[in-house]
A and B are shown apart, each in its own frame.
Chain A
Amino acid sequence: MTTSTTSRRLWPTVLPAAAVVTVAIVGPALAPHAVDHAVGITFEKPNSAAWLGGDRLGQDVTSQLLRGGWGLLLLGAIIALLVTAFAAILGSIAALHPRTGAWIERTADLGMLLPPVLAILLFMLSWPESGAVGLVVVSVIAGTPYSARVFAAAATGVAASGFIEAAQARGERLSYLIFRELLPNLRETLLTQLGLRFVEAMYLVSTAAFLQLPTTLGDANWAVMVRENASGILLNPAAVLAPSVAIGLLAVSVNSAVAAFGRGRSSV
């Protein structure tokens, strides 16, 4: 497959993700009403003044929708970046030192016994003051071992090749081996993992937000909108449906972008 056909197939799957992300980021500037501005009665039906109607407090759903994405996105992106970075380094070390690999394996096994959502709940109930930082910390701890295992598997093949052995024989430092020799050869794994970790992080962040953890995440995010407006789903379905669709659209488009990217590269 040539590069041009790859990119032609890549764009249609990447565009929706880019569009949702753009809307979530510039959304607050586009919101027609203030967040605490009531446009009508509680669960007002969609009308010309409020395209998606009102929520439980009669506030404009469109404005809330435009404002409610960037917080989730930012947290998701931070978690995805941190997990991928840690996992890439740990996975490389594991490939160079199998004994470290055994420890990562064990930690990942432990993670299987502790579902991430429960881990977040346990951690954030014990230490609610940790807020969004705490959420990031638990999500990174929960996601890294699994991702590191993927990196270790990918790096093992590279670590066995001659140029790594030559660098080791030269007496290069571990950091040189990881950042100069190993990771440049794992670009595809890096990018695919980054995308997958982002989907997973969005899942965790929005589920935590739905469970009102951390309490400081803000009241106008998409997950909280779904929860709070669920009671009025009969009166104004848009107040629940719109944020649900926003989360779904983002997750699916990023996921398919990752899949398209992985496929396009592997067949080149």
Chain B
Amino acid sequence: MIALTGLVVRRLGLLIALLAVVFVVVDLLPGNAARAVLGRDAGADRIAAKEHELGLDRPLPVRFWNWFSGAATGDFGTTARGQSVNELLAAKFPQTLLLASVAMLATVVISLLCGLWWSARPTGFTARVMQPSSAFVIAVPEFVVATLLVLVFSLWLDWLPAVTFTDRSGYPASPEMLILPVAALAIPQAGWNSRVVRGALIDAAAAPHVESAVLNGLPERTVLLRHVLPFALPTIATSFATSVGTLFGGALVVETIFNYPGMGAMVAGSVSDRDTALVAAVVAMTGTTIMCVLLLADAIRAWANRGRR
């Protein structure tokens, strides 16, 4: 219990450190939101007025406290153009969360199945297919995977739509529009995690108690579920947790390609606007989500090791 509290405190400390990093990057780097909004040829007085409006003329500790206390209570301020960051996020974050959750679910299911199958038959046909194909999907960026998917499933086979349309609720108009974006996100992650699952299972299967369980004549399924899987679970859970971050990063790209109405496409689109307040909020929210998932992985690890120490 004490160990778990310590972990929670450490993870919270890391989150605060992340927010500090975000603030430092946004605030101390030479780029200036006021200048970016008004354009190059704005006069000094107009820039000063805009800076005052955005609060850029106040001392640094005051600004950090304002931003930090706002971020901690879920208020991310306004963009340089004066829109509320919270409203923008509220309009787009649920869609990204939907996309990322479905992709995560697909990743977990696919990589568990492939990893189990692969570790059970390490030299068979599956292994000979899995080895190079997982290397391919791990190494290739999401936008390449997405492009190939569009080419095959939309253009050549004409099975799935290549772009997403939204209905009035702001969500994709039909579920099949989710399939390709989810696949583009999940395939690289599934490739990586299948390898981790396989490795963790093979390591766990080499433990002495597994051998004794096999020698005692326990059925294969019992050995796998009760003696191998609990030992491999902490590694697998942590690997899945780290995939969440990569999923959010990949969503930036994949949403752009499929015109998916989420915050990734919005953030990628704000590149020309230099909307750092928006990106800072997205980084903070992503960091918090990842921290929660890591805590979940910690809890799974604690549960898998229960009574063992």
Contacts and interface: CB of A to CB of B under 8 A. Distances in A.
A and B: bona fide binding partners: yes
B180 to A, nearest CB: 13
Interface bracket on B: 35 or more
Say what secondary structure dominates the interface of chain B: helix
B279 A125 contact: yes
A203 to B, nearest CB: 5
Report which residue of B136, B139, B162 has the largest number of chain A beta carbons within 10 angstroms of its beta carbon: B139
B62 interface: no
B219 to A, nearest CB: 34
Contacts of A240: 147, 151
A256 B135 contact: yes
A116 B249 contact: yes
Contact of B142 (A125, A207, A212): A207
Given A106-B14, A115-B248, A126 B31 contact: yes
B276 A125 contact: yes
Interface in B64-78: none
Contact of A122 (B17, B162, B245, B280): B280
A123 interface: yes
A259 B135 CA distance: 9
Interface residues of A, number: 45
A223 B286 CA distance: 25
B144 interface: yes
A122 B22 contact: yes
A123 B30 CA distance: 11
A126 B26 contact: yes
A114 B141 contact: no
Given A116-B249, A118-B249, A227-B143, A126 B29 contact: yes
B271 A114 contact: no
Given A110-B17, A112-B294, A118 B248 contact: yes
Interface in A215-246: 223, 226-227, 230, 233-234, 237, 240-241, 244
A199 B151 contact: no
A213 B269 CA distance: 12
Contacts of A116: 249
Interface in B1-47: 10, 14-15, 17-18, 21-22, 25-26, 29-31
Say what secondary structure dominates the interface of chain A: helix
Given A126-B31, A233-B150, A256 B140 contact: no
Nearest to B294: A112
Contact of B132 (A118, A223, A256): A256
Given A118-B282, A203-B139, A113 B25 contact: no
A251 interface: yes
Interface stretch (B52-60, B207-215, B221-229, B250-258): B250-258
Contacts of A234: 155
Contact of A110 (B21, B143, B250): B21
A153 interface: no
B205 interface: no
Given A118-B283, A248-B140, A255-B135, 12 more contacts: A113-B14, A113-B286, A113-B287, A114-B287, A115-B246, A125-B271, A207-B142, A207-B143, A211-B268, A234-B155, A240-B147, A244-B143
Interface of A: 106, 109-110, 112-119, 121-123, 125-129, 199, 203, 206-207, 210-213, 223, 226-227, 230, 233-234, 237, 240-241, 244, 247-248, 251-252, 254-256, 259
